[in-house]
Amino acid sequence: MIIKYLDRYAISVSLFVLLLVLSPVFTGFFSSNIIPYAFAATVLSGSSFFFEYLFNKAGNERQEKGKKMYFYVIPANMIIFVGIVLLLFN
């Protein structure tokens, strides 16, 4: 069950783990900025999970799904992340 979930949502899980690893860098180890960063991480993880769910539902192959995530979803998430960081942390 868990292996099947990790296989179907490998990109979303890897992005979520990356956000967890980078969170101490941006928040300064549990400073007052942890709530806005948690909000940004939730928005990004949720959007990537949603699009990966749609790609899985369409029956795309793993390589095709990876290309779509790479060219469409990840750049959009980067723009959203920079916007959230600029709005919340400044």
Which residues 6+ apart lie within 8 Å of 69 measured at CB? 11, 48, 51, 52, 55
**Smallest Cα–Cα separation from 66: which of 56, 76, 57?**
56
C-alpha 6, offset from chain centre: 14
Q: How many CB atoms lie within 10 A of CB 57?
A: 8
- For the entire predicted model, the pTM comes to 0.66
Reading the chain (90 residues) residue by residue, the pLDDT tens digits are: 677 777 777 777 777 777 777 766 655 555 666 677 777 778 888 888 888 888 888 887 778 887 888 888 888 888 887 887 787 766
